[in-house]
């Protein structure tokens, strides 16, 4: 018999381990064979290979209980919609039950594509080693003329970012025109030995995403951005399985509306399994701060060792400014992406000044220097405006 899929549930208000184990057994039966004790012996024997079972229980530090259920891996295919439906589908309607973790056996996990490039592959494409990558968020893309778009793109590129990504709300039909408009800038950076990756927002009907993605890549997109929770994890899976030849960025838009599932699953494991090379998520500081423990769990899910799936880039986001770089690097090491929008476009010395300020902050921290007392004009101006995160 193959190894089972292990699913941990958090049982809110459950008083003790014994009650949790009993609840877990009820869940295990209800989510697989439906009933058990009322079945004749012959039917039980026939259904046994498909039956889940509660295998462990305990109490969390916060006072809630947990129970772990083992599900036969053969009950469903290696696609996230099937997995989630079979282990949390109707349970998700019970506010007292939360999905706390999912552990896949290697044979089942191999059915998920994982990132095509991962941390090492994206580093190779960007030509960067030994430091975090720097990505700027293209703000105010809506309604801009192609000339203005190219000019704003050039300002970010000239400042020295490694990646530029579309805003996730840009769903107009001019993606191909934007790629052509900035192609000379991208090509000039490539000739200089400092590649620049332009991540284009992928939109359109779900059934057309892969075809459209291929067309965007052929047109020159250096990466693709997908609003994964809005389009569905299976859309990401299909794009990754198509091996499009460019990195896939996963945006967390709409993910906050998914309740009852721990963040390290939604923004960590599921994204990595389904093929995201870079995963944006709210950091533990910034404008949409999440608990530090959640951010650490997401990071661990994205970068933990795996013989099957490459590591995904953690991209802590929302309200990131140069004064946070020291803390970011302390939390994430070198393998993360500094993702900035407002602190670049709203820098007192302009867009290029905003990019340079981040580069200076990264260089200082990577070189073992403190941000406090920085005398570089761009970084100094940024720290005076936004301060230094503790």
Residue 37: what pLDDT? Answer: 58
Asked if 313 and 133 touch (Cβ cutoff 8 Å), the reply is yes
What percentage of the chain exceeds 70 in pLDDT? 96
| Separation between Cα atoms, residue 345 and residue 152, nearest integer Å | 10
How would you label 38-60 residue by residue, b for 16+ Cβ within 10 Å and e otherwise? eeeeeeeeebeeebbbbeebeee
Q: Please, where are the H alpha helices in the chain?
A: 17-30, 41-47, 80-88, 106-109, 118-126, 146-159, 175-191, 209-219, 228-231, 233-241, 263-264, 270-274, 292-303, 325-332, 342-345, 350-366, 377-386
Which CATH code of 3.20.20.110, 2.30.30.230, 2.120.10.30, 3.40.50.1820 fits the domain covering 118-386?
3.20.20.110
| Higher per-residue confidence, 173 vs 302 | 302
Percent helix, strand and coil across the chain, each to the nearest 5: 45, 15, 35
Q: Which two tokens mark 293?
A: 């423990």
**Radius of gyration of the chain, Cα coordinates, nearest whole angstrom:** 23
| Separation between Cα atoms, residue 289 and residue 271, nearest integer Å | 20
Residue 232: what pLDDT? Answer: 98
pLDDT tens-digit readout, 28-82: 998 987 765 565 555 566 777 888 999 999 999 888 999 999 999 999 999 999 9
Segment among 131-140, 188-197, 206-215 with least mean pLDDT: 131-140
Mean of all residue pLDDT scores within the chain: 94
pLDDT tens-digit readout, 122-132: 999 999 999 99
Residue 139: what pLDDT? Answer: 74
pLDDT reading at 222 higher than 70: yes
In the set 90, 139, 243, 385, the catalytic residue is 90
Residue among 321, 322, 351 nearest 159 (CA)? 351
> Angle at Cα 53 formed by Cα 268 and Cα 5, nearest 5°?
30
Per CATH, domain 5-109 is 3.30.70.150: yes
Residue 172: what pLDDT? Answer: 72
Q: How confident is the model at residue 141 (pLDDT cuts 50, 70, 90)?
A: low
Residue 90 annotated to the active site: yes
pLDDT reading at 160 higher than 90: yes
Residue 169: what pLDDT? Answer: 87
Tokens 């299909």 -> residue: 238
| Higher per-residue confidence, 27 vs 43 | 27
Tokens 């790629």 -> residue: 179
Beta strand 65-71 with 97-103 is unpaired
Asked if 312 and 276 touch (Cβ cutoff 8 Å), the reply is yes
Residue 41: what pLDDT? Answer: 59
In terms of Cβ atoms closer than 10 Å to its own Cβ (0-12, 13-18, 19+), residue 71 is buried
Asked if 303 and 311 touch (Cβ cutoff 8 Å), the reply is yes
Residue 82: what pLDDT? Answer: 97
- 320-341 average pLDDT score: 97
Tokens 């309200």 -> residue: 319
Structural domain boundaries of the chain?
5-109, 118-386
Residue 1: what pLDDT? Answer: 53
């Amino acid at each position: 018999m193959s190894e089972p899929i292990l699913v941990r549930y958090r049982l809110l208000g459950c008083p003790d381990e014994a009650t949790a184990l009993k609840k877990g057994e009820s869940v295990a039966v209800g989510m697989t064979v439906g009933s058990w004790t009322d079945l004749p012996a012959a039917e039980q024997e026939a259904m046994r290979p498909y039956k889940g079972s509660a295998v462990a229980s305990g109490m969390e530090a916060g006072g809630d209980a947990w129970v772990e259920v083992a599900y036969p891996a053969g009950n469903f295919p290696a696609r996230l919609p099937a997995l989630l439906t079979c282990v949390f589908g109707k349970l998700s309607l019970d506010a007292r039950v939360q999905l706390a973790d999912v552990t896949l056996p290697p044979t089942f996990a191999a059915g998920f594509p994982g990132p095509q490039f991962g941390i090492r592959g994206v580093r190779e494409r960007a030509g960067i080693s030994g430091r975090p990558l720097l990505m700027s968020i293209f703000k105010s893309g809506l309604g801009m003329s192609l000339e203005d778009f190219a000019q704003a793109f050039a300002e970010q590129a000239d400042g020295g970012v490694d990646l530029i990504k579309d805003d996730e709300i840009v769903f107009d039909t001019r993606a191909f025109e934007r790629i052509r408009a900035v192609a000379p800038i991208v090509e000039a950076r490539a000739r200089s030995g400092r590649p620049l990756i332009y991540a284009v927002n992928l939109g359109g009907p779900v059934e057309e995403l892969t075809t459209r993605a291929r067309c965007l890549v052929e047109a020159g997109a250096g990466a693709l951005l997908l609003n994964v929770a809005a389009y569905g994890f299976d859309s990401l899976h299909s794009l990754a399985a198509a091996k499009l030849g460019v990195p896939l960025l996963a945006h967390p838009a709409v993910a906050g509306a998914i309740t009852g599932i721990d963040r390290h699953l939604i923004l960590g494991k599921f994204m990595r399994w389904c093929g995201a090379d870079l995963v944006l998520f709210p950091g533990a500081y910034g404008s949409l701060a999440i608990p530090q423990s959640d951010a650490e769990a997401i990071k661990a899910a994205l970068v933990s060792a795996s013989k099957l799936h490459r590591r995904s880039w953690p991209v802590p986001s929302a309200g990131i400014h140069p004064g946070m770089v020291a803390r970011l690097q302390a939390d994430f090491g070198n393998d993360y992406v500094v993702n900035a929008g407002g602190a670049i476009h709203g820098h007192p010395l302009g867009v290029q000044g905003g990019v340079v300020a981040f580069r200076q902050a990264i260089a200082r921290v990577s070189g073992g220097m403190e941000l406090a007392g920085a005398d570089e004009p761009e970084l100094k101006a940024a720290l005076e405006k936004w301060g230094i995160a503790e």
